Amino acid sequence: MVEILPSILAADFARLGEEIAKVERAGASMLHVDVMDGHFVPNISLGFPVIESIRKITRLKLDVHLMISDPDRYAHEFIRAGADHVLVHQEVCPNLDRTLRSIRGDGALAGVVLNPATPISTLSEVLDLVDHVLIMSVNPGYGGQSFIPNALKKIKALAWKRKELGLNFAIEIDGGVALDNVGDIVRAGCDWLVAGSSVFHTPDPGAAFSQMQRTAREATLVKV
Ligand code: DX5
Ligand code: ZN
């Protein structure tokens, strides 16, 4: 089932619990959590204490996107803090096979992220070890950026590859997702759509989430 994952990077951090409750009540099943270290990306966001606190107040699956230079060093600790899914960037994992096996070994879903400039061919040897592949549709580091359309080509190619290999990992997209491109993204073959500003920078995040989820699911009905 196609899912919209609200990204808390765009939420009001002073009212984080209430913001999360709005999308949980509206029917979200997963929450996207961006961790930035000011080194791999030019921004700093949040870390373990925030994830531990969120874990206590929601039943949503926590989809933790590590935009950090040394994910191998910290992945285990993020799972301990409450992450259900751990996403690492291909660009900083020289031992990606080991990293993915280790995340799965700790009981979390293992995801890999590709920056806009990183080709999907870099994952050809590990596709059977991933639970989800996240295609960045902006350069990571900030919310509110414009969608890079080349991401649609990468999603189509990856969906084709998945079918060819008979695998069933989820395909995820992150960055610039909004009501006007949800249909194209889903028709390209994407399953999980991360949405920050287009959910939380609205007067009613619950309603914005619901409208996007409805639009995304309607698009699956016309998928060829
Ligand atoms: C960007 C983050 C995204 C961000 C998306 O580096 O990985 O998850 O929250 O924000 P929007 O949806 O506003 O582009
Ligand atoms: Zn993200």
| CA distances to 74, 98, 110, 148 from 105, in Å | 14, 10, 10, 34
Q: Tell me the pLDDT tens digit for each residue of 51-86.
A: 999 999 999 999 999 999 999 999 999 999 999 999
Q: Determine, yes or no, domain membership for 165.
A: yes
Q: Determine, yes or no, domain membership for 224.
A: no
Other CB atoms within 10 A of residue 139 CB: 14
- Give percent above pLDDT 70 in the chain: 99
Our answer to whether residue 97 is catalytic in this structure is: no
Hey, is 25 helix, strand or coil? helix
Q: What is the 3-state secondary structure (H, E, C) of 205-217?
A: HHHHHHHHHHHHH
Stated pTM of the model = 0.98
> The domain that contains 188 carries what CATH number?
3.20.20.70
Q: Determine, yes or no, domain membership for 80.
A: yes
What is d(CA 80, CA 49) in angstroms, rounded to the nearest whole number? Answer: 11
Pocket residue to mutate for ligand 1, from 40, 65, 66, 142, most atoms within 8 A of Cβ: 142
Other CB atoms within 10 A of residue 40 CB: 20
Q: Tell me the pLDDT tens digit for each residue of 82-134.
A: 999 999 999 999 999 999 999 999 999 999 999 999 999 999 999 999 999 99
Q: Which domain holds residue 76?
A: 3-219
Other CB atoms within 10 A of residue 166 CB: 7
Q: How many domains is the chain built from?
A: 1
Distance 16 CA to ligand 2 centre (A): 17
**Pocket lined around ligand 1, Cβ cut-off 6 Å:** 7, 9-10, 32, 34, 65, 138, 140-145, 174-177, 194-198
pLDDT band at 221 (very low <50, low <70, confident <90, very high): confident
Please provide the average confidence, as pLDDT, over all residues in the chain. 97
Contact 107, 128 (CB under 8 A): no
Our answer to whether residue 34 is catalytic in this structure is: yes
Distance 35 CA to ligand 2 centre (A): 8
